[in-house]
Structure 1
Amino acid sequence: MTDHVDDATPKKDIFTTGASHMALLHNCIIRGFNSIWLQAPHIKEADKADFIGYSLTWFKFVKSHHDDEEDNLFNKVADILGDEGVWSQTHEEHESFLGGLGEFNTYLTSLKSPSDFSGEELRRIMASFHEPFENHFHSEISTIADMAGHPKAPQAGSPKRRRRLQCSRHRSAEAPLWENWPPMPNPIKWGMVNIAGSWYSSWWKFSSCDANQRPKELYALKDVEVKS
């Protein structure tokens, strides 16, 4: 999967800004998918339990993101625009990959033992929803950005509240525009990474970025020649 590239724009309306924030969050999800896909066939026996934990954390993040959109974001935006059909395509996109995403979770949670984990089987499941999944995580950005042209869209500077989207991501993407995203005090960010991040720290070795949000070599591929 490829990252979504957010074209630099001087627009400051809530939907253009929201689309940019959503692109950053979606890129976190895409990089998570890629890190699982690339490493799954190369997981050693001693690392299987940790990789399962890492993969399930990714699933929970994606599912939580989906549920939050369906339960909160979509309704609030529809109310602002007075248009119940504004998310119709997005709803269809969600449905197109939920079955495969659910199978991903079912497979990992039903393993009797970490030793039963098969990277090939996990990739088979991921391949079953890869195309609609990637399509959605790019398409939704355009859907949100296009709302700026809706007849009832609030103009830049409007007091109407917008939903802020936060997720850690690597600093080098579109730097310096989003280098310090998500916005939060540095002490809190440090605590999230270095204190909260110490929980299940053995899982995070499979991530695509280090604690400083810089891209790093994937753990399971250090001694492997990647072919796909």
Structure 2
Amino acid sequence: MAPSTPAWADGPLPLIQTPSATKDTNDHPAHYIANEMAWAHNAMLRGLNAIYLQAPHVQQGDAADFLFFIASWSAWVLHHHTIEEKQMFPGFEAVPGVAPGSLSHNVEQHHEFSEGLSGLQKYATATTADSYSGAHVQKLVDGFSPILRQHLADEIDTLWAMDSVAANTEHSKKLLNIYQQCEAEAGKQDKSVVPPMVLGLCDKTFEGGNDWPKMPMGSAYFVHYLFARKHSKAWRFLPCDTFGKPRPLAFLGNNGAGK
């Protein structure tokens, strides 16, 4: 990947335009699901961009925290795709009106990048600060990031196409129920890792302003002042604060630039 200018987490891998930027996404559960997934996928892309851009500039004294950030991001994305393969996609395809096998291409894409993504996670968990190499991190990311980015974009169209299920029926409600069950499963991950990391990957200014993810009032403060404390040094590498406010990437050497 070639760094974008200015260097911030909206590149070098380009973010995905969310369907709600141009369309009504509340008219069918499939459209709502596709839109929610686009927001989540952009958070993933910001995380990977933040890793890629900062990797060469992280020095030994900060490497352990950066490796924890990489390991946390990788585990989150791997977990996301495991839920899709084992629970979400089979559930969707069992709903009458969704063509059998219509999500198989997305699973095939998982297999194309999963080895590289797992390799990044293994590197982050097995490497010591003394042996950290930013160049190697970038090499690992280059190995799988193009197909990952393609997958994250392609999946939105696949999910949108589930509007083949008639709207305002028990079948369309089933789509939403399956998605919400998977959201609940994802919510079981380590509260001291996933919530502070994901909130720090959400840009509240994106596409003119947004409120994704929707959370109960005060939840972000709870995450910021309680959950984020345990691994606070790792969250220095996030492109946004807990409240979705973009900030300059902290580790860009002498070429630092920010949103």
**Fold match by TM threshold 0.5:** yes
Q: Which residue of the partner structure matches residue 235 of structure 2?
A: 204
Q: Give yes or no for contact 2:239–2:249 (8 Å, CA) kept in 1.
A: yes
With a CA cutoff of 8 Å and minimum separation of 6, indicate the structure with the bigger relative contact order.
1
The residue that corresponds to 1:95 in the other structure is 111
Distance 2:14 2:120 in 1: 20
Aligned residue identity for 2:105? Q
Q: Tell me which residue corresponds to 1:106.
A: 122
Q: Which runs of 4+ in 1 moved over 6 A?
A: none
Residue aligning to 1:56: 71
- For residues 193 and 14 of structure 1, the distance between their equivalents in structure 2, rounded to whole angstroms, comes to 31
Task: Give matches, 1:20-99, under 5 Å.
Answer: 20-81=35-96, 83-99=99-115
- Are positions 1:128 and 2:143 aligned together? yes
163-172 vs 210-219, which moves further: 163-172
SS of residue paired to 2:15: coil
CA contact (8 A) 1:54 1:206 kept: yes
Displacement of 1:159: 3.8
Contact 2:30 2:175 (C-alpha < 8 Å) held by counterparts:
no
Q: CA deviation at 1:9?
A: 1.2
Which residue of structure 2 aligns with residue 182 of structure 1?
A: 213
Partner of 2:136, secondary structure, is: helix
Kept in 2, the 8 Å contact 1:42–1:220? The answer is: yes
Superposed counterparts of 1:135-154, under 5 Å: 135-148=150-163, 150=164, 153-154=165-166
**Number of residue pairs the alignment of both structures matches:** 220
Partner deviation per Cα, 1:123-178 (whole Å, 9 max, x = no partner):
11111111111100111011111221x2xx140475435114585311111344xx
Structure 1 residue runs of 5 or longer lacking an equivalent are none
1:78 shift after superposition: 0.7
Partner amino acid, structure 1, of 2:47 = G
Map of 1:4 onto structure 2:
16
**Residues 29 and 173 in structure 2, CA contact (< 8 A), matched pair in contact too:** no
Whether contact under 8 Å (1:154, 1:160) holds in the other structure is no
2:245, 2:71 → 1: CA distance?
23
Does structure 1 conserve the Cα–Cα contact (< 8 Å) formed by 2:61 and 2:129? no
* Cα 1:159/1:98, change in 2 over 3 Å: closer
User: What is residue 251 of structure 2 aligned with on the other side?
Assistant: 220
Deviates more, 1:78-87 or 1:129-138: 78-87
Displacement, 1:110?
2.1
Q: 1:193 to 1:125 in 2, by over 3 A?
A: same
Matched, 1:170 2:203: yes
Aligned-residue sequence identity (percent) comes to: 26
Work out the CA distance in 2 between the residues paired with 1:159 and 1:143: 18
Is contact 1:14–1:154 with CA below 8 Å preserved after alignment? no
